[in-house]
Amino acid sequence: MKRLASFMLAGLMLAASVRAAEIAPALQNRDAEYLKLADAAAAKPAEAKWCDIRAMYPETSFYREHLGIEVEKRTMEAGRRMLMEKTIDAVADFRDFLRKNAAAAGAHYYAAYLYNWNNDLVKQKMEALLPDFGSGIDYIDPVFEKKAAEGLMGCLLKTGDGRSLATAYQVVTVDEEKIMVEKYFRVEPVKIDKQRENGHVYNILTVQIPESGQRQDIYFQLDDRLVQGAREAQESGKIKQPEKPN
């Protein structure tokens, strides 16, 4: 799926660069309201308002730190620091990143993966790599992280059916597109096209269904704020890609 990720990111930057209009006025900073919803979701997962959290995400300063680009990869970077340093500060920073990016399904999926990977090491080799300060790995709840990711992806599924431009899935991070293809459809794209229509930017993924061999197009609409943000990043050089974790 590395090819898919690079295609999506390149397409996003290309789509952003062709926008001639000026970037919309600065988004309202709704950090406090967003964090209140995120904290409530963590405290009472059954009552979590994932769709509201996801909708508010692009209007926060946390989103504008990375502009919806490779959030999962940045979570991996924070996790790698935790593995290497094994300090309370590194754990606190990891938890803080997850809290601020509570609307990013990729961040939740990676947190759950990290916990389960460490748990498997303990079972197989009696060795843990995640830091333990005497109370176990209580700073990651894999059940919550998985349910959070699924709840957020459920919100994406409500935006359309992906069968046409009119009913395209409306993504707010590049990772959502990748997760949809990898985890939900479990297919490899054979072709990726870009299209602009009625002021929107679309990724059109042609995939091959393994069982039948037939090909099908899946449509994704990139959130306008994501496109605007990518254009800002391209022009200012503010987006710096993190190193790939080992």
* Sheet containing 215-222: order of strands: 169-171, 215-222, 200-208, 189-197
Residue 148 has which token pair? 């959070």
Domain segments of the chain as ranges: 2-236
Q: What is the pLDDT of residues 201-213, one digit of tens each?
A: 899 999 988 888 8
Rounded-to-integer distance, Cα 5 and Cα 119, Å: 28
Q: What is the pLDDT of residue 174?
A: 84
Q: What is the pLDDT of residues 70-81, one digit of tens each?
A: 898 899 999 999
Mean pLDDT of 205-227: 82
Q: What is the pLDDT of residue 125?
A: 83
Residue with tokens 């916990």: 115
Indicate whether 23 pLDDT > 50: no
Buried b (16+ CB within 10 A) or exposed e, 138-172: ebbbbebbbbbbebbbebbeebbebeeeeebbbbb
